[in-house]
């Protein structure tokens, strides 16, 4: 047995380290050295899940009917709650039976969707910088990512007209994400109308990630991709309860839109997972059916944190754009630093974990991402440490 060797698949050998797992490892190493870490690296809300949602879970968990396998597509009552929420929030009509699919968090659906559409060698249009799962899901399906740079001069929107003809003709899927992680950019309904026209003309299905649509500021509500005329003809939108209702650990989300795409994703999922625990779906119904009081309070807290961190970083000489949405700041690194170099400087000199922009793709070089998911007193302390060490 001494010659026995485990060899992993080529797709794993080609996989870059998962960005947030790598950050977590660096953080743990620093903690083991006794460093008081302020973690502004990972977008995991520190605010608790609203109590009415927890109460609904507790009651549903005691019901023996919820202890068996759930339906693959999700409970009809949860899918109706999603459709009702979309109607209230975006004035978008959805058929709960054919245009809504329950997910084990939106990350799961995003990672699986390429399996339903991508053959080996096919091209997927992927934003850079962007959420790493768009490209890793593409890799697992045997596809190739063609990077769409999100540049400051374009307001961090992709320039669809600049995509070469041969790439457009070979593309089988496009990922978009607004409000955007990591740049915090917000897209207009006009931009989404341009996306619909592009997708229709080139026969490229659209996957829009709208996980941050409810984390916005100054009462300027971001639109849904599905609000654009013809959007349901060309694409789907992914959403999650994680950020909106502080439910990251609960793992529940949904995909909505084009029924053929929903059906294909559902076929993939029915062969790979067994759905979401029904008690959690009951809690999801409670979340989607409740008023916006808790969400509004979340937004007020994040806005206070945003303003505090921006003020402190500006005083420290850093160039910060004021985000209109998400709980991220996309900050230009100081002269003389790379993204990784500045992230390591913050960790070594300040005990602050932040995310280097190049971890989201080559177009993220020159930036660093801070999150707003720590208490105000810790943000104040982080600002003071940065001011003293820069």
Considering the domain boundaries, does residue 385 fall inside one? yes
Number of residues written out for the chain: 390
Q: How many CA atoms lie within 13 A of 168 on its CB side?
A: 13
pLDDT, one tens digit for every residue, the chain (390 residues): 568 999 999 888 887 776 667 677 777 888 888 889 999 998 899 999 999 999 999 999 999 999 999 999 999 999 999 999 999 999 999 999 999 999 999 999 999 999 999 999 999 999 999 999 999 999 999 999 999 999 999 999 999 999 999 999 999 999 999 999 999 999 999 999 999 999 999 999 999 999 999 999 999 999 999 999 999 999 999 999 999 999 999 999 999 999 999 999 999 999 999 999 999 999 999 999 999 999 999 999 999 999 999 999 999 999 898 999 999 999 999 999 999 999 989 988 999 999 999 999 999 999 999 999 999 999 999 999 998 877
Please state the three-class secondary structure of 86-144 as a single string.
HHHHHCCCCCCCCCEEEECCHHHHHHHHHHHCCCCCCEEEEEECCCCHHHHHHHHCCCE
DSSP 72: T
Considering only CA atoms, which of 29, 123, 19, 74 is closest in space to residue 361?
A: 19
Same domain, 124 and 236: yes
Same domain, 279 and 311: no
Q: How far apart are CA 133 and CA 383, in angstroms?
A: 31
Predicted local distance difference test score (pLDDT) of residue 140: 96
The residues that bridge with 127 in the sheet, in sequence order, are 148
Question: What's the sign of the alpha-carbon dihedral 110, 111, 113, 114?
Answer: positive
Same domain, 163 and 255: yes
CATH of the domain at 314: 3.90.1150.10
Considering only CA atoms, which of 310, 316, 309, 306 is closest in space to residue 386?
A: 316
Instruction: Report the chain's terminal Cα–Cα distance, integer Å.
Output: 55
pTM above 0.85, yes or no: yes
As given in the structure block, the two tokens for residue 361 are 């793709």
Considering the domain boundaries, does residue 371 fall inside one? yes
Domain final position from 236, 261, 289:
289
Same domain, 322 and 278: no
Cα distances (Å, whole numbers) of residue 89 to 84, 147, 282, 288, 318: 9, 32, 20, 10, 36
Rounded (10°) angle between helices 278-289 and 51-61: 150
Same domain, 66 and 40: no
CA dihedral angle for residue 344, residue 149, residue 243, residue 307, rounded to 10 degrees: 60
The number of domains in the chain is 2
Same domain, 105 and 246: yes
Considering the domain boundaries, does residue 1 fall inside one? no
Predicted local distance difference test score (pLDDT) of residue 225: 98
Considering the domain boundaries, does residue 82 fall inside one? yes
Domain final position from 236, 254, 289:
289
Same domain, 220 and 284: yes
Q: How far apart are CA 65 and CA 34, in angstroms?
A: 48
Burial 309-338 (b: 16+ CB within 10 A, else e): bbebbeebebebeebebbbbbbbbbeeebe
Phi then psi dihedrals of residue 358, to 5 deg: -70, -10
3-state DSSP helix/strand/coil percent for the chain, to nearest 5? 45, 15, 40
Same domain, 211 and 338: no
Is omega for the bond preceding 179 within 30 degrees of 0, making it cis?
Answer: yes
DSSP of 235-271, one letter per residue?
A: EEEEEESTTTTT-GGG--EEEEE-HHHHHHHHHHHHH
Q: Are 320 and 329 in contact (CB under 8 A)?
A: yes
Phi then psi dihedrals of residue 183, to 5 deg: -80, -15
Q: How far apart are CA 228 and CA 221, in angstroms?
A: 15
Cα distances (Å, whole numbers) of residue 236 to 57, 110, 218, 282: 28, 11, 28, 24
Considering the domain boundaries, does residue 139 fall inside one? yes
As given in the structure block, the two tokens for residue 230 are 């013809």
Considering the domain boundaries, does residue 161 fall inside one? yes
Same domain, 219 and 139: yes
**Full domain range(s) for residue 211:** 51-289
Considering the domain boundaries, does residue 3 fall inside one? no
Same domain, 27 and 59: no
Same domain, 192 and 79: yes
Q: How far apart are CA 323 and CA 316, in angstroms?
A: 18
Domain final position from 262, 289, 316:
289
Reported as type and span, the H/E element at residue 175 is strand 171-177
Q: Are 106 and 242 in contact (CB under 8 A)?
A: yes
Considering only CA atoms, which of 144, 122, 120, 121 is closest in space to residue 134?
A: 144
Considering the domain boundaries, does residue 176 fall inside one? yes
CATH of the domain at 139: 3.40.640.10
Q: Are 128 and 156 in contact (CB under 8 A)?
A: no
Same domain, 214 and 149: yes
Predicted local distance difference test score (pLDDT) of residue 19: 66
């Amino acid at each position: 047995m001494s010659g026995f060797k485990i060899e992993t698949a080529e797709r794993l050998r080609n996989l870059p380290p998962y960005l947030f797992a790598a950050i977590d490892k660096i953080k743990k190493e620093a903690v083991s050295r006794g460093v008081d870490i302020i973690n502004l690296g990972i977008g995991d809300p520190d605010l608790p899940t609203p109590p009415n949602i927890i109460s609904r879970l507790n009651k549903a968990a005691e019901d023996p009917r919820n202890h068996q396998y759930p339906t693959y597509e999700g409970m009809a009552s949860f899918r109706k709650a999603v459709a009702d929420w979309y109607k209230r929030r975006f004035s978008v009509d959805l058929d709960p039976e054919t245009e809504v699919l329950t997910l084990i968090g939106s990350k799961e659906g995003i990672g699986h969707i390429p399996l339903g559409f991508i053959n080996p060698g096919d091209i997927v249009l992927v934003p850079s910088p962007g959420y790493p799962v768009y490209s890793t899901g593409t890799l697992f399906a045997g596809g190739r990512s063609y990077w769409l740079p999100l540049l400051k001069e374009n307001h961090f929107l992709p320039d669809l007209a600049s995509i070469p003809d041969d790439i457009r003709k070979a593309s089988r899927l496009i990922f978009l994400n607004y409000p955007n992680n990591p740049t915090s950019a917000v897209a207009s309904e006009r931009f989404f109308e341009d996306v619909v026209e592009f997708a229709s003309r080139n026969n490229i299905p659209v996957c829009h990630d709208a996980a941050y649509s409810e984390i916005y500021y100054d009462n300027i509500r971001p639109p849904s991709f599905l609000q654009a005329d013809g959007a349901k003809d060309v694409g789907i939108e992914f959403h999650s309860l994680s950020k909106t209702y502080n439910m990251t650990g609960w793992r529940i989300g949904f995909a909505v839109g084009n029924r053929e795409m929903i059906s294909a994703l559902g076929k993939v999922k029915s062969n790979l997972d067994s759905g979401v625990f029904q008690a959690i779906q009951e809690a999801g119904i409670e979340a989607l059916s409740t008023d916006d009081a808790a969400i509004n309070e979340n937004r007020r807290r994040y806005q206070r944190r945003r303003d505090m961190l921006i003020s402190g970083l500006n005083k420290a000489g850093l160039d910060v754009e004021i985000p209109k949405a998400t709980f991220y700041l996309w900050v230009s690194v100081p002269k003389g630093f790379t993204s990784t170099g500045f992230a390591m400087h913050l960790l070594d000199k300040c005990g602050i974990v932040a995310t280097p922009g190049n971890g989201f793709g080559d177009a993220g070089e020159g930036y660093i991402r801070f999150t707003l998911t720590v208490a105000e007193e810790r943000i104040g302390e982080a600002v003071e440490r940065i001011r003293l060490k820069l």
